[in-house]
C-alpha cells in the first residue's frame, strides 16, 4: 500500500505539481482510504519527504548517477544520459520535466526539511559527476573546486534545458544543450 501511495503521489506531483495535488487526489489515484493514507503519511509534507527520498532520489540515481558512474568516460556518460532522456521524451510525445527540478522549483521555500532533502539529492548528483569529471584526458587530476564547478555547470545546463523543454514541450532544448555541453567537455579535456 505504501508503494502504491508513493507511486501515485510522485506521478501527481510530477504532472500537477505539489500545490495542486491534494491528499484526496492521492487517495483516489492510489485507491486507499483516508485512514490508511493518513496512518502512513499524516501530512502532505511527510508524504512529499517520502516521495523525495523513496522515488525522486531513486530516479536521479537510475537516470543520471549510475549511468555516469558506469560509462567509459564522464562526457560519454553525460551524453548518453541526455540521449536516453531525449528518446523518452520522443516516445512519450510530451515533457513533464525533471521530478527533482519540478519539486525544487516549487518547494524550496516551503519547508526547510523538504529543501534539505532536495539539496541532498542535488549534492549526491553533483558529487558523482565531480568524481567522474575528476580526471582530464592528459591524466592530470583536477582540484576539487574545478571538479565541483564543472559538475555544477553540467547540472545547471541540464536543469535549464529540461525547464525549457517542459515549457516548449519539445526535446530541442535538451538536444541543443547536449551538443553545447559535449563541445564544452571536449574543450576542457573531460573526455576521459
pLDDT at position 142 over 80: no
**Cα angle vertex 9, ends 6, 53, to 5°?**
50
pLDDT at position 191 over 90: no
Cα separation, 162 vs 153, whole angstroms: 14
For 42, phi then psi, to 5°, come to -65, -25
Domain ranges of the chain: 56-187
Cα separation, 44 vs 97, whole angstroms: 21
Helix-helix angle 144-168:112-133, to 10 degrees: 120
Predicted pLDDT of residue 168: 97
Predicted pLDDT of residue 144: 84
| 105 burial via Cβ count (<10 Å: 0-12, 13-18, 19+) | middle
Lowest mean pLDDT among 14-23, 115-124, 180-189: 180-189
163 three-state secondary structure? helix
CATH class of 56-187: mainly alpha
pLDDT tens figures, 50-94: 999 999 999 999 999 999 999 988 889 999 999 999 999 999 999
Report the predicted TM-score, pTM, of the whole model to 2 decimal places.
0.91
pLDDT at position 41 over 80: yes
**Sorting pLDDT into bands at 50, 70 and 90, what band is 189?**
confident
Higher pLDDT residue, 144 or 152? 152
Predicted pLDDT of residue 133: 85
Predicted pLDDT of residue 140: 65
Predicted pLDDT of residue 59: 96
pLDDT tens figures, 153-182: 999 999 999 999 999 999 999 999 999 998
Amino acid at each position: 500500500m505504501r508503494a502504491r501511495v508513493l507511486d501515485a503521489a510522485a506521478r501527481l506531483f510530477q504532472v500537477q505539481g505539489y500545490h495542486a495535488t491534494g491528499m484526496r487526489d492521492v487517495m483516489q489515484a492510489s485507491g486507499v482510504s483516508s485512514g490508511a493514507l493518513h496512518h502512513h503519511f499524516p501530512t502532505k509534507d511527510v508524504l512529499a519527504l517520502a516521495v523525495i527520498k523513496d522515488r525522486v532520489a531513486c530516479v536521479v540515481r537510475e537516470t543520471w548517477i549510475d549511468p555516469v558512474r558506469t560509462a567509459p568516460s564522464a562526457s560519454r556518460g553525460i551524453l548518453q544520459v541526455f540521449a536516453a532522456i531525449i528518446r523518452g521524451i520522443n516516445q512519450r510525445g510530451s515533457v513533464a520535466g525533471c521530478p527533482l527540478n519540478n519539486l525544487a522549483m516549487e518547494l524550496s521555500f516551503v519547508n526547510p526539511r523538504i529543501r534539505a532533502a532536495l539539496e541532498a539529492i542535488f549534492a549526491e548528483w553533483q558529487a558523482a559527476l565531480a568524481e567522474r569529471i575528476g580526471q582530464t584526458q592528459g591524466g592530470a587530476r583536477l582540484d576539487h573546486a574545478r571538479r565541483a564547478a564543472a559538475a555544477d555547470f553540467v547540472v545547471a545546463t541540464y536543469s535549464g534545458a529540461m525547464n525549457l523543454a517542459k515549457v516548449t514541450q519539445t526535446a530541442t532544448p535538451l538536444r541543443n544543450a547536449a551538443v553545447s555541453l559535449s563541445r564544452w567537455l571536449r574543450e576542457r579535456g573531460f573526455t576521459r
